[in-house]
């Protein structure tokens, strides 16, 4: 019992560090941007109204939507948009057209994650370092260079993994939330009347008096829920109970106290609106607060970078991106990975964002469209999960998701007003990645169709071969093939050029499924073909690690013993040649061919031993 409690405490502290780092740093800029937008006249009733809107936004979007409802939609213990997409697509699998639409919508949401992944670290670290301007205006020229140095150091250490520094994330973020609460209380005690803003009538009163202004400022109010999607995305790492416990016991109270402390400060000193967060602190504490805020934003950014690695790996395994080089940074934690291409691609885009926008206020204009559209997509997918997957009555499904749908649409519509001021930036990134994903998926479908057209039936082929069998040599040959039951090009080339056949022959197809995990008991599907030949299908979930040699160890006892020293892996290295009149636009065919050419080696991706791989190439026109 004691062990269970300590485990819950450790997971809760871990969740505070990883899950809530992003939303915990939104206090740096959210209030400043609402009042700094120029749309809200600075009056005492307006301070109450805005704070009430902040509190109820956190309550409705985070507490009710994500913590209470969305966390229930776990996919075998996993969360995140990809897991939700898998649940929704499985729920409507008997409706192919709807399923295709939902898959496209979900993949578009995953693409937008990268747009958010560029803006969030940029705005978080920049807003923390801007605290130096409060210490002294002379530091203003140092803000951007220092931000870029911090970001470079953060991305440079990714290759080493987060095992060493990860254990400090929770305690540091816990200290951060403690400081937020203390700063808030210190100002609230001087103006306790500000707590009246907890009542929703202040938010409704502001909405009634300024409907147009309310709609416009929602684009800045949404900054207070940055990172809400992380609640669901990190479900598999921590579980529902620690995430919920961390939110209601630490994060929500600390954020509420800090926002209300900023409101109390504005009642006393309206001029503090230029940076209410840092001006809450006594002068002597400003510099230490800048350091702590910078640490907190680095931790928040780290969680997002790790999430980008994880999402990319899942998208690759679902077949929407080409193979990418994946490095494991921990011997014990299989989920801790490093993808160099994603790491440095994100870094370049973030540097571009910092240099292009130059301040957290300008970045705030770019933030919101991608994240509110993601929130809207999550709500839509949730409806299909609870309606078709859980079979709840239609009225209950509409009641459960309808109110959130209206809230999400309203926030998204408000953020569209920022399109020209920078909102185009994350949309451009998300749109470009979506185009890559759909081009790869469609290109693979066309390529597989072409391979099927030219394919020879494996059983018939083997029967004809064994009428007058070639010389058989010792050992096992593993032929990788995209479609089970068809003859791999590598086998044809081997027979043509080497004129031999191995003693044992496995024809292996790898299948990735729309579930997070496929257990070892369901890993292999084996069909004997006679003459010491087997058709093998290996099944993986989108969070499993591909490892063909390890999977084939299960062939023991099925008539085929694989010895590492006498097993060879044969792969077909297809060169894609775009042709006129194919299935895609010419530019997309050329893009697909380039992506196919630059995909990381299949041998590395499937963990095949380098000294036992034979690649045989062929050209395929699409």
pLDDT band for 2, please (50, 70, 90 cuts). Answer: very low
On whether both 574 and 597 belong to a single domain, the answer is yes
Does the residue 108 lie in any domain? yes
Give the pLDDT confidence score for residue 187 in this predicted structure: 94
Q: Is the pLDDT of residue 344 over 80?
A: yes
For 189-228, the pLDDT digits (tens) are: 999 999 999 999 999 999 999 999 999 899 889 989 988 8
Element containing residue 386 per DSSP (H, E): none
Select from 46, 95, 100, 108 the least CA-distant residue to 377.
Answer: 108
Does the residue 81 lie in any domain? yes
Q: Is the pLDDT of residue 64 over 60?
A: yes
On whether both 524 and 421 belong to a single domain, the answer is no
On whether both 429 and 516 belong to a single domain, the answer is no
Interstrand relation of 524-530 and 533-541 (parallel, antiparallel or unpaired): antiparallel
pLDDT band for 1, please (50, 70, 90 cuts). Answer: very low
Contact by Cβ (8 Å): 50, 207: no
d(CA 618, CA 458): 19
Q: Is the pLDDT of residue 574 over 50?
A: yes
Structural domain count of the chain = 2
For 474-505, the pLDDT digits (tens) are: 889 999 988 888 888 888 888 888 888 999 99
d(CA 356, CA 359): 9
For 97-124, the pLDDT digits (tens) are: 999 999 999 999 989 888 888 888 888 8
Does the residue 104 lie in any domain? yes
On whether both 290 and 363 belong to a single domain, the answer is yes
On whether both 464 and 370 belong to a single domain, the answer is no
Contact by Cβ (8 Å): 323, 605: yes
Does the residue 202 lie in any domain? no
pLDDT band for 581, please (50, 70, 90 cuts). Answer: low
Contact by Cβ (8 Å): 313, 326: yes
On whether both 289 and 150 belong to a single domain, the answer is yes
Percent of the chain scored above 90 by pLDDT?
35
Contact by Cβ (8 Å): 144, 354: yes
pLDDT band for 15, please (50, 70, 90 cuts). Answer: confident
Q: Taking all residues of the chain, what is their mean pLDDT, rounded to a whole number?
A: 87
d(CA 402, CA 222): 19
On whether both 461 and 355 belong to a single domain, the answer is no
3-state secondary structure of 506: strand
Mean pLDDT to the nearest integer, 527-546 = 89
Q: State the burial class of residue 352 (Cβ atoms within 10 Å of its Cβ: 0-12, 13-18, 19+).
A: middle
In which residue are the tokens 């931790």 written? 299
On whether both 415 and 477 belong to a single domain, the answer is no
- Which CATH number goes with the domain that contains 21? 1.20.1740.10
Q: Phi, psi (5° rounding) for residue 333?
A: -95, 105
* Helices 44-57 & 211-221 angle (0-180, nearest 10): 50
Residue span of the structural domain in which 89 resides: 8-30+63-165+222-242+276-389+396-442
Mean pLDDT to the nearest integer, 533-546 = 89
Does the residue 311 lie in any domain? yes
Q: Is the pLDDT of residue 138 over 60?
A: yes
Q: Is the pLDDT of residue 331 over 70?
A: no
Give the DSSP letter string of 176-238.
Answer: HHHHHHHHHHHHHTT-GGGGGGGSHHHHHHHHHH-HHHHHHHHHHHGGGGTTHHHHHHTHHHH
Does the residue 179 lie in any domain? no
Contact by Cβ (8 Å): 317, 546: yes
Give the pLDDT confidence score for residue 236 in this predicted structure: 76
């Amino acid at each position: 019992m004691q062990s269970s409690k300590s485990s819950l405490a450790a997971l809760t502290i871990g969740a505070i560090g990883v899950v809530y780092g992003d939303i915990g740093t939104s206090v740096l800029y959210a209030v400043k941007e609402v009042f700094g937008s120029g749309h809200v006249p600075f009056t005492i009733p307006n301070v109450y109204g805005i704070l009430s809107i902040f509190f109820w936004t956190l309550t409705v979007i985070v507490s009710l939507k994500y913590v209470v409802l969305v966390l229930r939609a776990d996919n075998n213990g996993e969360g995140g948009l990809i897991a939700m997409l898998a649940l929704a697509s499985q729920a409507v699998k008997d409706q192919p057209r709807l399923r295709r639409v939902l898959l496209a919508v979900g993949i578009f949401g995953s693409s937008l994650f990268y747009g958010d992944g560029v803006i969030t670290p940029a705005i978080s670290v920049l807003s923390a370092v801007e605290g130096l301007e409060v210490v002294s205006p002379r530091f203003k020229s140092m803000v951007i260079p220092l931000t870029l140095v911090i970001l470079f150091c953060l991305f440079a250490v990714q290759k080493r993994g987060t095992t060493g520094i990860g254990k400090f994330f929770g305690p540091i973020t816990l200290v951060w939330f403690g400081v937020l609460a203390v700063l808030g209380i210190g100002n609230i005690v001087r103006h306790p009347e500000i707590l009246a803003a907890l009542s929703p009538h202040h938010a409704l009163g502001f909405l009634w008096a300024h409907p147009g202004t309310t709609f416009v400022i929602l684009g800045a109010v949404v900054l207070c829920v940055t990172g809400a999607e992380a609640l669901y995305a990190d479900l598999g790492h921590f579980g529902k109970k620690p995430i919920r416990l961390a939110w209601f016991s630490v994060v929500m109270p600390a954020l509420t106290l800090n926002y209300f402390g900023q409101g109390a400060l504005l009642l006393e000193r309206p001029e503090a609106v230029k940076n209410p967060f840092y001006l809450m602190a006594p002068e002597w504490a400003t510099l230490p607060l800048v350091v702590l805020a910078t640490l907190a934003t680095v931790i928040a950014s780290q969680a997002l970078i790790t999430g980008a690695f994880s999402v990319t790996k899942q998208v690759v395994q679902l077949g929407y991106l080409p193979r990418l080089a994946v490095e494991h940074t921990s011997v014990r934690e299989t989920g801790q990975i490093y993808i160099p291409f994603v790491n440095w691609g994100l870094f370049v885009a973030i540097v571009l964002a910092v240099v292009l926008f130059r301040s957290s206020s300008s970045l705030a204009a770019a933030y919101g469209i991608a994240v509110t559209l993601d929130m809207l997509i999550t709500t839509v997918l949730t409806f299909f999960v609870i309606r078709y997957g859980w079979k709840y009555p239609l009225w209950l499904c509409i009641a459960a998701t309808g109110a959130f749908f209206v809230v999400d649409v309203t926030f998204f519509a408000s953020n569209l007003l920022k399109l020209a001021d920078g909102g185009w930036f994350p949309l451009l990134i998300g749109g470009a990645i979506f185009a890559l994903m759909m081009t790869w998926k469609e290109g693979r479908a066309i390529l597989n169709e072409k391979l099927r057209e030219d394919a020879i039936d494996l059983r018939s082929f083997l029967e004809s071969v064994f009428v007058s069998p070639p010389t058989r040599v010792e050992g096992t040959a593993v032929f990788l093939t995209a479609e089970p039951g068809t003859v791999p090009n590598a086998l044809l080339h081997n027979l043509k050029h080497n004129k031999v056949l191995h003693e044992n022959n496995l024809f292996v197809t790898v299948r990735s499924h729309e579930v997070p995990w496929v257990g070892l008991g369901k890993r292999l599907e084996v069909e004997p073909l006679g003459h010491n030949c087997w058709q093998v299908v290996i099944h993986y979930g989108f969070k499993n690690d591909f490892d063909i040699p390890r999977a084939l160890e299960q062939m023991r006892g099925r008539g085929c013993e694989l010895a590492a020293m006498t097993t060879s892996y044969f792969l077909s290295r297809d060169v894609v040649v775009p042709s006129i009149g194919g299935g895609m636009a010419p530019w997309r065919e050329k893009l697909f061919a380039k992506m196919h050419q630059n995909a990381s080696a299949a041998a590395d991706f499937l963990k095949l031993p380098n000294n036992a791989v034979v690649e045989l190439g062929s050209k395929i026109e699409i």
